[in-house]
A and B are shown apart, each in its own frame.
Chain A
Amino acid sequence: MPRPAPPDPLAEATPATPDWPGEWLRGVLSLCALRVLADGPTYGYDIAQRLAGVGLGEIKGGTLYPLLGRLHAAGFLDEEWRPGDGGPGRKYYALTEAGCAHLHDESARWARFAALTQSFVTSQEAHR
């Protein structure tokens, strides 16, 4: 019997409309955008929708597109304009090999950082 697929952290998160502090999002947003693109190429508005869907809140275009531009300039993303259905086209982003490697390495580091932060912030010492 095949083993069940590991849970998708994006699908598992609880959709909500939280108001996360901006400095929290700035630190992790590029990693989250790369994670969305690990599921396949897509366009900017869809990335924003999916990030909102997992509970990260509304990501404005003015924040998202400069971030995607920086990731493209760093060689982590490919860009391609695809024609729309009878309308104007959309620019699709796709992970490059360097982007996949960056996501793999940085997500592992982020997990260690998040675990460290959680254990420290929520430790009994902090509540004395």
Chain B
Amino acid sequence: MSTSPDTLAPHVDPRWRDAFIMELRLRDVPGRRIGDALAEVDGHCRDADEDATTAFGDPVAYAQGLAEHLPTRARLPLRDGAAVVVETAGVLGVVWALPPWLNGDPLVASRGMAATVVVSLLAAVALCLAPAPTLRWLTRARWWQAALAGSGVAVALAALTRLVPDGRLEAPAAPLALVSLVLLAVGAVALHAGGATADVVSAPGADDARSVRRARTASVLVSAALPVVALLAAGGLALLPR
């Protein structure tokens, strides 16, 4: 059976569906349970010939009421946070250290680069450890709120940059690139092994071996996407004229 929300709930307005899925995700309800609840909403809308808002009201309020008696996935924020930090460090390290290594140059870092690494890692940790209400606010932020938050991060980055001693920081590129490649691989494997990327919203009854294989393949592809993009970006930077 399909695991795509589009085909799982064709009678439900996509905006209602997405808000419903997001709220249940924020409450750590497993994908299979979300698919079950969504299919029930879709069936009722089809039978009653009503839209989801008329039959079920606000998607967030309905999801909140439903989640009270649904099982939840055990959250492991420290493990997930460690995986994201390792992956982020790997991406930054590969993008910056691989091009000079391929060109036979040392890695030259400015204080802006160093500050960016610190802020990026702090942001990754903060997002992993953020409570559900904060994440909920982020998903619903309006454009001006997002712009304000982005400006705040930019100001913090600029202030942090002023604290770093001025001057060129030089380091051998090869060991940093190799360590970054290892971090990238370890982060991807940790994300896949954690199971978060395999927890897809699945249709009721989609528990046969074929669906399990499909979810595992999707998890491998999602986990591998970031390393591939980082390697492509590093390769592109290496080809730029020096």
Among B39, B41, B44, chain A packs the most CB atoms within 10 A around the CB of: B44
* A110 in contact (CB, < 8 A): no
Alpha-carbon gap, A72 to B65, bound state (A) = 15
Question: Is B163 an interface position by the 8 A CB rule?
Answer: no
A113 interface residue (CB < 8 Å to B): no
Is the CB–CB distance between B40 and A65 below 8 Å? yes
Q: Which residues of B contact A60 (CB under 8 A)?
A: 55-57
CB distance from B146 to the nearest CB of A (A): 30
Asked if A4 is an interface residue, CB under 8 A from chain B, the answer is: no
Of the candidates A72, A87, A88, A90, the one having the most CB atoms from chain B within 10 angstroms of its own CB is A88
Whether B57 contacts A62 by the Cβ 8 Å rule is: yes
| Interface of chain A, main secondary structure | helix
Set of chain B residues within 8 Å of A48, measured between Cβ atoms: 48
Given known contacts A91-B39, A91-B43, A62 and B204 CB-to-CB distance under 8 angstroms: no
- Report the tally of A-B residue pairs with Cβ distances under 8 A: 62
Interchain nearest-CB distance for B36 vs A (Å): 8
A45–B43 Cα gap in the complex (Å)? 8
Q: Residue of B at shortest CB range from A89? A: B204
Contacts of A15 in B (CB 8 A): none
Query: Is the CB–CB distance between A91 and B65 below 8 Å?
Result: no
Q: Are B48 and A61 in contact (CB under 8 A)?
A: yes
A73 on the B face (CB < 8 A)? yes
Q: Which residues of A contact B66 (CB under 8 A)?
A: 65-66, 69
How many residues of B sit at the interface, in one of the four size bands? 20 to 34
- Do A81 and B205 touch (CB < 8 A)? yes
Is B87 on the interface with A (CB-CB < 8 A)? no
B46 at interface (Cβ–Cβ under 8 A)? yes
CB-CB nearest in chain A for B45:
A61
The answer on a CB contact under 8 Å between B204 and A81 is yes
Mask for A38-81, Cβ within 8 A of B = 1, else 0?
Answer: 00000111001000000000001110011001101100000001
Which of these, A43, A66, A69, contacts B43 with CB under 8 Å? A43
Kindly list 7 other residue pairs between chains A and B, CB separation below 8 angstroms, not including A61-B41, A73-B69, A81-B205. A43-B43, A65-B37, A65-B66, A69-B69, A72-B69, A89-B204, A91-B39
Q: List 15 A-B pairs, Cβ < 8 Å.
A: A45-B43, A45-B48, A61-B55, A62-B57, A62-B65, A65-B40, A66-B69, A69-B66, A72-B69, A73-B69, A81-B205, A87-B46, A88-B42, A90-B47, A91-B36
Listed in ascending order, the chain B residues whose CB lies under 8 Å from chain A are 36-37, 39-48, 55-57, 61-62, 65-66, 68-70, 204-205
- Which residues of chain A have a CB within 8 Å of any CB of chain B? 43-45, 48, 60-62, 65-66, 69-70, 72-73, 81, 87-91
